[in-house]
């Protein structure tokens, strides 16, 4: 029977190394696989924490034995290995989805996506929160990955996350408290079979798990002033 705590991380970059270290902290047996040479900074982190990894190859037997796989945003869903993983019923998720499971209780997540302006809006939102003395951190698709924020920083009241369409493609249960789609213009269409609708679907999936906030009993919904 497959060990339910075994996880494979595909990609040894910022998000991959951080996800691996977070998984190790949470008690998983972790193996990192990168088809390229990897980045020495992040490989050093894996060595220092005793996480097993390989570069310049993918050992498929080990990858297919995983209970779950966290893949780099740079790996398309159309790669034969990813298709085979899903055929075998193995969950393939993003680092954001994995880190979401370990968000500090009571913290708020602000998710920001869009074709243009994501970084500026994320940084501005964080700046305004900081100016208002709200304990907040920014990351995701800029700066530190979400997993690294959870690993190396004190818990924040608000996490402001820039999210790319590639990261959103790996979402399952991720539900930010506030989800924002700034705009949608043609971008990265080679990843989406050159279909704008598929790219747009990826962007708006940031809100797929949102829930309607109901008015509290005894309170009337606000009305528009005359």
What are the catalytic residues? 118, 141, 188
CA separation for the pair 208, 179 (Å, rounded): 10
Residue pointed to by tokens 């990826």: 202
Q: Which two tokens stand for residue 180?
A: 């924002």
Q: Which two tokens stand for residue 111?
A: 């998710």
For the sheet with 178-181, list strands across it: 136-140, 158-162, 108-113, 178-181
Cβ atoms of 81 and 93 closer than 8 Å: no
Which secondary-structure segment (H or E) carries 159?
strand 158-162
Closest C-alpha among 114, 156, 116 to residue 138:
156
């Amino acid at each position: 029977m497959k060990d339910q705590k075994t996880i494979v991380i595909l990609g040894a970059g910022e998000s991959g190394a951080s996800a691996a270290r977070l998984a190790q902290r949470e008690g998983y047996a972790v193996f990192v696989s990168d088809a390229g040479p990897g980045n020495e900074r992040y490989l050093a982190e894996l060595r220092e924490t005793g996480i097993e990894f390989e570069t310049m190859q993918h050992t498929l037997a080990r990858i297919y034995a995983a209970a779950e796989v966290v893949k780099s945003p740079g790996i398309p869903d159309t790669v034969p290995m990813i298709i085979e993983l899903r055929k075998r019923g193995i969950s393939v998720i993003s680092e954001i989805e994995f880190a979401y499971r370990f968000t500090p209780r009571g913290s708020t997540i602000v998710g920001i996506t869009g074709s243009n302006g994501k970084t500026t809006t994320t940084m501005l939102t964080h700046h305004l929160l900081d100016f208002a003395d709200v304990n907040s951190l920014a990351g995701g698709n800029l700066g530190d990955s979400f997993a690294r924020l959870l690993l190396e920083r004190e818990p924040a009241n608000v996490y402001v996350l820039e999210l790319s369409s590639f990261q959103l493609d790996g979402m399952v249960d991720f539900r930010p408290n506030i989800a924002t789609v700034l705009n949608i213009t043609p971008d990265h269409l080679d990843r989406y079979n050159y279909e704008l609708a598929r790219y747009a679907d990826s962007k708006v999936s940031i809100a797929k798990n949102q829930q309607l906030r109901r008015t509290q009993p005894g309170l009337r919904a606000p009305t528009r002033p005359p």
